[in-house]
Amino acid sequence: MELLKVTNLKKYFKDIKAVDDISFCINKGEILGLLGPNGAGKSTTISMLSTLMKPDGGLIEYKGDNIVKKPSSIQPNLGYVPQEIALYKTLSGRENLEFWARAYGLKGKKLKKRIDEVSEIIGITKRLKNKVENYSGGMQRRLNIGAALLHEPELIIMDEPTVGIDPQSRKHILDTVLELNKKGMTVIYTSHYMEEVEYLCNNICIMDNGKIIAKGSKEELIKSIQSEKIINIKVDNVTDELLNVIKTIEEVSDITCDNNAIAVTVSNSKTSFNKIIDVLSKTDVSINSVDINEPNLETVFLNLTGKALRD
């Protein structure tokens, strides 16, 4: 079922086209990744989805309702985790959760029950009594996520929830997202870490300069660039003869050599890999290692924009 549909969405700040005519949709139960470098327009996009900002053009529909005209269609069903941590640092974890729970209209037993459940999910039960200013960055991030879960939303939108935290908290957050999704929650996950998006998301939109420059599953995106692969071979002693034989293999389009490391660019790695091994085994060079550089989302991004995802 289509939960959220975005059509020709636009947001301009004077001459900056922060969001420049983008369209995508998300089905119930999916994890959609919005991947893009700094300034791509990710936060502006999700601010509009969360009804915090009005679009300059286009349409956002939640279950068929225009959310600008009818914010109540999405608001009670949405958990929004902002990029900047929004917590009261001098209050305890529990007091922060209570504040948000009340804002969502929870009270009494239900409020207490949800705070217990959410603290368990985000793994801060033992630290609930402590002031947030004494929490690590990772714990603050987790509490920030917890605040968005209290009212059991159908859809959670997370804006770079793992920036600047320790690897353990990061792993905890990623696994929490998967766990919530397994229980039926739909997720929009924003990041400029391609490995996070690769790990979590069924569907990915790659954004750059306010535009969606590619969308699809990870496999589709990688396939779409039909990237060549590079086979790296390390040998004891490179000879011109060896390089020449490799060059004669049909699928090989380029070959470079640095000391005893050979990098062979090939179009179809399966057949060419076998052929290269075949050639090597007929010579008397001894091979130290052979590996294939598989293209990933970083390669896709590089291929589409000519620049790296991160500086």
Ligand X SMILES: Nc1ncnc2c1ncn2[C@@H]1O[C@H](COP(=O)(O)OP(=O)(O)OP(=O)(O)O)[C@@H](O)[C@H]1O
Positions touching Mg ion (CB under 5 A) are 42-43, 83
Least distance in angstroms from the C-beta of 41 to Mg ion: 8
Taking the C-alpha atoms of residue 267 and residue 270, their distance in angstroms, rounded to an integer, is 9
Q: How many residues bind ligand X (CB under 6 A)?
A: 13
Q: Which is nearer to Mg ion, 209 or 293 (CB)?
A: 209
- Cα–Cα distance measured from residue 119 to residue 128, given in angstroms and rounded to the nearest whole number: 8
Residue number, 50 or 269, with CB nearest to Mg ion: 50
Name the minimum Å distance from CB 34 to ligand X: 8
Q: Is 153 a binder of ligand X (CB under 6 A)?
A: no
- Determine, following the binding rule CB under 6 A, whether residue 16 of this chain makes contact with ligand X: yes
Q: Identify the residue among 3, 6, 32, 36 touching ligand X (CB under 6 A).
A: 36
Angle between helices 137-147 and 93-103 (to 10 degrees): 20
Q: Which of residues 168-187 bind ligand X (CB under 6 A)?
A: none
Asked whether position 41 contacts ligand X by CB under 6 A, the answer is yes
Triad 27, 28, 30: Cα angle to 5°: 70
The three-state DSSP-derived secondary structure of 250-272 is CCEEEEEEECCEEEEEECCHHHH
| Residue whose tokens read 């991160």 | 310
Q: Does 192 bind ligand X (CB under 6 A)?
A: yes
User: Smallest distance from the beta carbon of 207 to ligand X, in angstroms?
Assistant: 7
- Is 161 one of the binding residues for ligand X (CB under 6 A)? no
Q: Least separation, in Å, of the C-beta of 36 and Mg ion?
A: 9
Q: Cα–Cα distances in Å, from 123 out to 81, 101, 127, 176, 298? A: 17, 18, 9, 9, 32
- Closest CB to Mg ion belongs to which residue? 43
| Rounded CA separation 195/198 (Å) | 5
Q: Which of 40, 118, 155, 204 binds ligand X (CB under 6 A)?
A: 40
